[in-house]
Amino acid sequence: MFVKIKDILAGKYPDGEEVQVGGWVVKNRSSGKIVFTVIRDSSGEIQVTTKKGNVCDDALREADALSLEASTIIKGKVRTDPRAPGGRELVATDVKIVGASRDYPIFGEGHNPEVLLDLRHLHIRSKELVAIMKVKDSVLSSCREWFRASGFYEVTPPIIMSSSCEGGSTLFELKYFDEKAYLSQSAQLYLESLIFGLEKVYSVTPSFRAEKSRTTRHLAEYWHIEGEMAWVGLYEMIDMLEQLVSYVCNKTAEERHEELRMLGSDPEYFKNLKPPFPRITYDEAVKILQADGFDFKWGDDFGTHEERQLSMHYDKPLFITEYPLEVKAFYMKDAGNAKVLNVDMIAPRGFGEIIGGSERETDLALLEERIRKQGEDPAKYGWYLDLRRYGSVPHSGFGMGAERLVRWICNQEHIRDTIPYPRTISRFNP
């Protein structure tokens, strides 16, 4: 039976007890009669000492032949040694190479990022990416915990759609048998239909945006955490979003303290992040930018530079509400004065937008008019408009980019390292 390295390092097995570990070689050096190997499994790394006299000659040769990323099975006795990484090591009693690894193409540091993306299927094993994937696992699981505890039902909306949700310019088109279809930009429209039976729903699905953006926070394919709630107005939803984000950050920092420290993040900040978060209106945000010297006019939408500047004024996530109607999607509720009842959540320290949401428009005539202004035919949205014809209720919803949230929590420069295989404007391989 295999044991996990983290359990050895944690003292679960006393000195002298023989255990068996399966893992991959991180480094290996030999002096002929003694071999020092560091191996890893999914839980951690440990040093293995293989010494002539403790193992048979064949096992010593196997240990000497271990190379970077070779897989191996090692039997050994646990020993406390303050000089060893983690303070404990294995004194090998048997070593077996399972899968050889000759001339491993990623060696040392300083590789060109594009080379590492070409070798993503191998680079995904790196200590940093493994740590990020563990953090992401905690983010997704804690999101689901919060939704379930808050009375939401998880649902499974489609990702093949017949019409646009966020605008036609960013749609990925595909042939669906003999018809034209699109990959989902958002599950929102379908989630809205589900609240009429379930009231509070959420989904975790892939979304696709054909945005020709080469920024550090855009992906063509990403994971979308979306919620929709009947009988909930914008500001009640903002209260809920504070609770969701703080819960996810607190729980993730508690579970992944070591990983976050290794990645250069501050787990104590995320562990202690609590509501309330600052809230300003779009009008107030415009005044801040203008006071900071930005040439920004009312009616413009915020870009990367504007969001970064605004976030620098706060040490918590920032909610910005009531944007101009003309820069937002057709389904956002008209607030009057050429504004909509919407909210964006901007992460601090320049990490940008993480959540976008709104109260949804329930006026059928207004919806039809705004769909036409978007250049679309309301008939294509017939099923969606039916939701306003038959028992419509006030409701609100939001979408949160999983990778953007993980990027902020992990303090990563580029979003491409928050997903196993990033899809961008220039890359869909491997």
The DSSP result for 48-84, as a single string, is EEEEBTTB-HHHHHHHHH--TT-EEEEEEEEEE-TTS
Q: Which pLDDT tens digit goes with each residue over 171-226?
A: 999 999 999 999 999 999 999 999 999 999 999 999 999 988 788 889 999 999 99
Residue 169, pLDDT > 90, answer no
**Residue carrying structure tokens 């077996």:** 96
User: How many residues make up the chain in this entry?
Assistant: 430
Residue 370: φ, ψ to 5°:
-75, -30
pLDDT for residue 374 is more than 90:
no
- Written out in words, the top-level CATH class of the domain with range 121-153+188-204+224-418 is alpha beta
Q: Give Cα separations from 309 to 288, 303, 343, 352, 353 (angstroms).
A: 9, 10, 18, 10, 12
Please identify, in words, the CATH class of the domain defined by 5-99: mainly beta
Burial class (CB in 10 A: 0-12, 13-18, 19+), 32: exposed
385 contacts 366 by C-beta, under 8 angstroms = no
Question: What confidence score (pLDDT) does residue 179 get?
Answer: 92
Q: Which tokens hold the place of 293?
A: 């010297």
Comma-separated ranges of CATH 2.40.50.140 domains in the chain = 5-99
pLDDT-derived band of residue 168, with 50, 70 and 90 as boundaries?
low
CA dist 249 to 260, 396, 402, Å? Answer: 11, 23, 12
Coil, strand or helix: which one is 277? coil
For residue range 333-362, list pLDDT tens digits in order: 999 999 999 999 999 999 999 999 999 999
Query: Residues of CATH 3.30.930.10 domain(s) within the chain?
Result: 121-153+188-204+224-418
pTM score of the predicted model = 0.95
What would the mean pLDDT of 57-64 be, rounded to a whole number?
A: 95
